[in-house]
Structures are given as C-alpha cells and as structure tokens.
Chains A and B, each alone.
Chain A
C-alpha cells in the first residue's frame, strides 16, 4: 500500500548523541504514531481506563456479584455503601454494581457498532463520491446533506421514534445519524488526493479505478476516517444513552446506563448518589473515549 508521501517522518530521540555524526533515526509512519502514543501519558492513562471498562464488560458474569435482573422489593433504593450491595440498589432492589457492570456491555456495544457500520457505509459512499465526482458526487453528497441538516439527537430520536425502541433499532438509527458525517470526511479526503501526481501517474501507467482506490486512495482516506470514527464513539454512547433515557433505546429490564438514569431519576430525593451513578459511568466512559481519540488524532497528525 502506498503510504502518504508527506507522512514519512524523522524523529530525534531525546537521548540522541549530537557529538559526531548525526544519529537521526528515521521511523515509519506507524512507528512514529506508536512512539508518540507511548509518550503521551494522558492518552495512555485514559486508555487504561477504557481497557478496564471493556474488560469489566466482557467478563461481567465473572465480576458482577449478583444477577443484574435479581429483584428484591424490600431491599430497594439502599444507599451507597450498603452491606452486601456496596454501590447500593436500584428502585426494584437490584444490585447497582452488577447492573452498572452489565450496563457497560450495552453501552460499549451501542458506542462501537453504529460507528463501525457508519464508517463502512459512509466511508464507501464518500470514497465513491469523492473519486467519481460530477453527478455521482452530487447525488451522494446532496442526499447526505439532507440528513446532515438535522441535529444528530433530533434525527436519532425521529428515526428511533418511527421504528420503535430496542437495541437493533437504536443501532440502525445511530448508524444512519453518523453515516453522513463519515461520508463527508471520506469524500473530502478522497477529493484531496484524487488529483495528486501519483494518482495521475498510476492512471497513466494503466491502473484501473478500483486498483487506484485500493492501493493509492484508501491509504490516505483511512487515517482521517479512523480518527473521526474514534471521536464518534463517545458521541454514540451519549446518544444511545439519551435514546434509552427517552424510552427509545434499550428496553427494560436490560441494564443500560441511559435507561437506569431514566428510571432512577424518580428516586432523586431518596438516593441522589445512586441516581447519579449511571450518569457518572456514562460521563467517565465517554470522556475516556474522547481523550483517547484525541490522543490518537494528535499522534496520527504528523507533519514534517
């Protein structure tokens, strides 16, 4: 795959020996990105938290002390620090820690799956629109602009409201919300490179359109698309939580942070900390994803 010409970089390590011949070590693009990430303690720190959240979600059955569905009405709304339920219980007496751990599964899924789907669909459409130009570009991009005209949360609510609640419909609606933005990023990146010399050269040497896209365009497009996609994960988690809060996303009794926030708010005056816990989980997860995404973007944004 052809690497972007401008992205081959020279890094001068801090411990370089400048006495004598220059000891400049030339790194490849991905090596450089890895080097920057390894030295970005903020990104690493928040990355570890993301990893812990992911591990907790994956191994929820092994970690959670109770079933997230086990109710006990006489034990409802026990406060933080309650014996046997260190993070308290919810309005139906279910263990908050267990529901928060299991809730991470759904929140992460709702954060990642729509972004992956939107990246695939939007990215493909963007590359086609950007490379083909003219009528195809106009048809694709103006259609995307129609969706782009609506605020994302409004569009997500409208689509989910029309299709009904549930995880699958939530994923579909969020995928539709993110697709125009992904398409726009891919189209812009493609349009920027399609007239560069090496593309012309490839074309002159007889390479077909698909070959040019596969070997010469995608390499330049994937970087910005990946960076933008990573920043959407936290947005997706927030929007999915919002849909669940409104009753348009995950359905009870599934443990979902947005849904938990919605049902627990009625108990705000009894157990304010318990009511806030799902919100804190959403906040921590989304800000961690955001900062990690920001770190990756900074690491990948290498210019000579």
Chain B
C-alpha cells in the first residue's frame, strides 16, 4: 500500500513537472514595448502585460474568474477604510513580509516615496514622464503620509469614495533600486524592480521584453507556471495571425475578425469575453446638432447593431449604454433599439433634416476595433434616417489629442469616436459627464452639463457604503442613458487566440488578464 502511494505521488509529481515550464510568447497590439518604469504607456495593454506583471498596486484587480465582472481586491494593501473622523482621509493597511525583486522589504515609506515620485516635482525621485502618465489617476489626492511602517494615510481634496479604484492604476516601484541608480529612470527601465509575479529578464527596445517567474511572489497561487514570458509588439492584426499560424508566437491579442475561421481551422483556441469597453461616439453638447436631446436619441435609434456585429464576424456585444449590462451598476436604462422610422421622426421634430454632423475618427488604435469599416457602415446607417455625416479621419495619436483638447479647440466637430475603458465607476460613468471633467481637464469631451447628474456625482463621491453607492451609480447610468449622452455602438469581446499547446488561461471580464496560470506543452 505504501509503495502504491509512493508510486502515485511520484506520478503526480511527474505530471506537475510535465505541465510546468515552456515559454509564452505574446504578440501584443502595441507598436512598441510598453515602458517598464511603473505606470506604463501603450494604454491598458501596457498594464496588462508589463505593469501588472512586474509590479503591484496597493489595490489589485481580481482577474481569476471569467463569469463575473472583475472588481478590485487587496494588493499591496490588505485592507482600507475611510477615517471615521475625516471623510477626506483614507487609511490603507499594508501587506507585511513582501519583498521587492531586489530583496529590500516593502514598507509604508516606499508608498510615500512612490507618490512623491509621481506628484511632488521638488522631490529628488520625481519622474516627469511618470507624472504625465499617472496624473489622471491622482487628481483627487492631496497628501500621502506613513502611519508607522505598515499603514499609509491618503488624504483627498474632497470626499472621494472611489480612491481605491484610482489607486489600482498606480504601480509601486522599488525605492531601493531607484536610489541605487541615483534616480536614473532610463537605467531603471533596464533593471526594474517591483513586487509582481514576474521578474525582469531582458529588454530589446522596439523588439521584445522577456520576463521570468518570481518564485518568491507573495501570492503563492499566482507564481507563474511557465519558464518565461516573452512580449512582442506587433501592431498589425494579420501579422499577429500569421505569427501564430507559423509558430513564431503562441498567444495573440485581437486577431482580425475575418481571420478567426482560419485560426479555428488551424486548431487555435479563440477566447472572447465581454469586458468593460465601449465603442461609442462622445458628443458635442455645445456647438453641434447633438445639443438637442432628440438628435442624440435619433442617432442612437439609427444604429443597426446587428449589421455592425455581422461586419465584425460576431465579435462584439450590442452597446446601448456606456457600461456593459453585467456591470453591477447597470440598472435598467432606456435602451435605444434600432428604429429608423423613430429616428427620422425625431430629426424632423428637431428640425434637423438633413442633419449635418462631422465625426472625428481614427484609422486604428487600442480598443478601436475596425474603425474605418465600422464608421463607413454607421455613416450609411445614419444617412438613411436623415443625417449627413462627414468623417474626419486621422491617426490614433492625433485623435487622442482631439479627444483631450475638447470642443473648445474643435467646435466644428460634432462627435469623436474614441473607444473607452469603463472599468470602474469613475472611468465608466463620472468622467464622461461631470462638469469638473470638462476637457481639456478631463474626459468630458463635449462639455456635457446637467444639474441632476452633478447632484448624483456629488452624492456618489460622498457615499462610502458600497451598496448605497451602487444604487446611486445605477441612477447615474440610467440618467446618462435617458439623456443619450453618447451614441453607443459596441462592446468589444476582447478576442485573443492561443496555440492549442497553451492551457489554463481564464479570460476575465477585464482589460487586465492573468497569464500566471498558463502552462505550455512541450
């Protein structure tokens, strides 16, 4: 009996050993390797593959499940709460026993040092580039102080119940390593040190980043099960498909929808899942026909999302709201189902026939799906009901600038087609409609203003009970739909294709994904 048990144990060990190892080679959509010095560039793909693998934030995202919308979970902070005596002061309890990749201990002073790196231009560790990349996540933070070695206090400029979400986008880097390098962040990029599940191995600029497992990672369940993770920038969709089919890579992001049948016929595994993304048009509420609610509603009724889905080979979910229906604060908003007659009648009622509008669109870009084809189709659909659409086409970076500038610099543009990450209440809802977020300060591109919306946002920020805050968020989403604050078209389903040799990947409903459980067959 003992011999049998020993034999079984031996086989089990062999089985585990056979599963472990191998190399995951990912073809990213990014055109460049995301930077490795903390907050990444290249949008959320930079977070997905680089920042959240090398680093942790105080608050992490739970990306272990595919069947529920991802939410935040403890990261380098194990718990957080608002100071009962001061609703502008958050207290974060820090995880003890965590070590940086360079061997130093993670302490509260490291957190304070990191925030100074991003916010205090007089601090020696201040990093201008990181400041530019992080400032959007830090707008409400007034001060960060250590409370002993294992707790930090974060004070906000006004009551802000969403601080934990904002901190999930701020990776912590090693003070030890930065000081050893005398704050030379270009040197740091080649020797980054975090607390994440992967260690830096090699960086070839413009070509590849190689990471290896961190055997001492504090979350033992997330110690990577591969030998190496290789990340390659590969912006062209068909190139990624060809790379997967040829065996150059075994994991690709966003294959072209029309290439999916070919990938399936070659035995590749296709993963899709709804995630907090919306492909929509932000509208000009001041100097365009969209200042009239009826015109906004007409545009939403004019969109035949079935045709868009057909164009994308089924790789989308219909979008009738800024956030996907699985979001906890979706509620029961008005849904503008395809109704061209109603759309035409609304335009007639608004005396906007033909209704001339200019849409700013891009040729490609992160989360933009198939922008040229989709916009050509939508232009035709809108023109069917009485719009006359002019497409102003530019590259992704130029469009990003238009989106950041806001309508004051672009009063002749009626809408901008920049897809949105809608991962949390602020990013999903508030930033698009709050007056405080009017561009160029924030993401309210078209200067939307509504007293009821402002009132709801103030209540949300001051509500620290999650359930009651969720109710308020539902009301905000429903209000945004009633006001048709965007033209909603599609939620991406985040397609990615993996070689049949890869196992164990779970596609979360998130922009971020966990590669640590993936095993690779020899």
Residues on A close to B: CB < 8 A?
A: 69, 71, 73-74, 76-77, 91-92, 161, 164-165, 246-248, 251-253, 262-263, 265-270
Give the interface SS of chain B, mostly helix, strand, loop or mixed: helix
With A266-B257, A270-B261 given, is the CB distance from A252 to B375 under 8 Å?
yes
Question: Which of B261, B311, B372 is A73 in contact with, Cβ under 8 Å?
Answer: B311
With A76-B311, A268-B238 given, is the CB distance from A92 to B258 under 8 Å?
no
The 8 A-B pairs of least Cβ separation, nearest first, read A247-B363, A269-B262, A266-B256, A267-B258, A73-B307, A269-B259, A270-B258, A253-B376
Cβ contact within 8 Å between B393 and A268:
no
A selection of 28 A-B contacts at a CB cut-off of 8 Å is: A69-B380, A73-B311, A76-B311, A77-B258, A92-B311, A161-B395, A164-B398, A165-B394, A247-B372, A251-B393, A252-B376, A252-B391, A252-B393, A253-B379, A253-B391, A262-B363, A262-B372, A266-B257, A266-B259, A266-B373, A268-B238, A268-B258, A269-B238, A269-B256, A269-B258, A269-B259, A269-B262, A270-B261
A77 to B256, CA, bound (A): 14
Cβ contact within 8 Å between B373 and A263:
yes
Cβ contact within 8 Å between A165 and B393:
yes
Q: Is B237 an interface residue (CB 8 A)?
A: yes
Residues on B close to A: CB < 8 A?
A: 237-238, 241, 256-259, 261-262, 307, 310-311, 363-364, 370, 372-373, 375-377, 379-380, 391-395, 398
Cβ contact within 8 Å between A251 and B377:
no
Min distance, Cβ A273 to any Cβ of chain B, angstroms: 14
A91 to B376, CA, bound (A): 10
Cβ contact within 8 Å between A71 and B380:
yes
Cβ contact within 8 Å between A268 and B259:
yes
Cβ contact within 8 Å between B373 and A92:
yes
With A251-B393, A268-B238 given, is the CB distance from A73 to B370 under 8 Å?
no
Min distance, Cβ A270 to any Cβ of chain B, angstroms: 5
The residue in chain A whose Cβ has the minimal distance to the Cβ of B236 is A265
Min distance, Cβ A245 to any Cβ of chain B, angstroms: 10
A252 to B374, CA, bound (A): 11
Kindly name the residue among B262, B370, B395 whose own CB sees the greatest number of chain A CB atoms within 10 A.
B395
Min distance, Cβ B511 to any Cβ of chain A, angstroms: 23
A294 to B256, CA, bound (A): 41
Min distance, Cβ B402 to any Cβ of chain A, angstroms: 11
Min distance, Cβ B235 to any Cβ of chain A, angstroms: 12
A91 to B241, CA, bound (A): 18
A contact residues around B258 at 8 Å (CB): 77, 91, 266-270
A73 to B256, CA, bound (A): 17
A165 to B310, CA, bound (A): 28
B contact residues around A246 at 8 Å (CB): 363
Cβ contact within 8 Å between A91 and B375:
no
B contact residues around A262 at 8 Å (CB): 363, 372
B contact residues around A165 at 8 Å (CB): 393-394
B contact residues around A91 at 8 Å (CB): 258, 311, 373
Cβ contact within 8 Å between B238 and A266:
yes
Not counting A247-B372, A248-B395, a sample of 4 additional A-B residue pairs whose C-beta atoms are within 8 angstroms of each other reads: A91-B311, A265-B238, A266-B237, A267-B256
